[in-house]
Amino acid sequence: MIIYYRGSSSSFEKTWTSYKEDVSNSNFTTEFKFDKNKNFEDLSNNFQDINHLKIAKSIHGTKIAIYHIMINFSEN
């Protein structure tokens, strides 16, 4: 999933948190259900000197991994 963020820079972290909450609380089909035991694996800290990206991995069903990338395109 690629999410383009165009809001205020000061709200980037809050929006990322809200996005992850929305995904984890979504009603997926049984075979694609969000694995709340594994939750999100935040990968953002694996990349140094990059403060305009948030990256996380979620597991759905038994084997499906989804990578979520939020890119901050704020102009302020």
Domain boundaries, the chain: 2-72
Q: In sequence order, which residues have a C-beta less than 8 Å from that of residue 40 and are 6 or more positions away? A: 20, 23, 24, 56, 57, 58, 68
Q: What is the pLDDT of residue 17?
A: 96
- Strands of the sheet with 40-42, listed across from one edge: 2-5, 64-72, 53-60, 40-42
The answer to whether residue 49 scores a pLDDT higher than 80 is no
CA distance 74 to 43: 21
For the full predicted model, state whether its pTM sits above 0.85. yes
Question: Are the beta carbons of 5 and 41 closer than 8 angstroms?
Answer: no
pLDDT in tens, 7-32: 999 999 999 999 999 999 999 998 89
Give the pLDDT confidence score for residue 72 in this predicted structure: 95
Predicted local confidence at residue 66, as pLDDT? 96
